[in-house]
Amino acid sequence: MSKLLEFRKAEQALREQLARLESFKHDKELEREIEFEDKLKSLLKEYGFKLQDIVDILDPQPIQVAELEIGRRVRKTQIWTNPITGEVLETKSGNNKTLKAWKAEHGEKFVSTWLQKN
């Protein structure tokens, strides 16, 4: 591309930008925005706030809170070994049919010694 052609294109682009700038000077909406910005800057200065403070007030970020797991606590498996019969019982509850039968037959204190320590 020749230098003259580049110059003419740049000149045309400049004319378009100047026309656009001139149209902005008479835009009522732009005037309102500039007035708002000036008033906002004066208020920020008067109250000692920064622009980020205003953004945080108007649009606060959600606070990250660790979610608590709500529900029942998982019970540990208990292992009971009957020394008389050698039978092994694994249960998560003291409300087991076999365990209740052992306690009824041999006594609760004696059966409580059959619980295996982990």
Average pLDDT over residues 10-18: 94
pTM to 2 decimals? 0.40
pLDDT in tens, 61-116: 877 777 777 777 788 899 989 998 889 999 988 788 998 998 999 998 988 898 88
Q: At what angle do helices 28-47 and 51-58 cross, to 10 degrees?
A: 100
Q: Residue 103: is it exposed, middle or buried by C-beta count within 10 angstroms (0-12/13-18/19+)?
A: middle
CB 78 within 8 A of CB 90: yes
Boundaries of domain holding 54: 3-58
Residue 66 included in any domain: no
Residue 12 included in any domain: yes
The total number of structural domains in the chain stands at: 2
Q: Taken in order 110, 112, 114, 117, is the CA torsion positive or negative?
A: negative
Query: Do 47 and 84 sit in the same domain of this protein?
Result: no
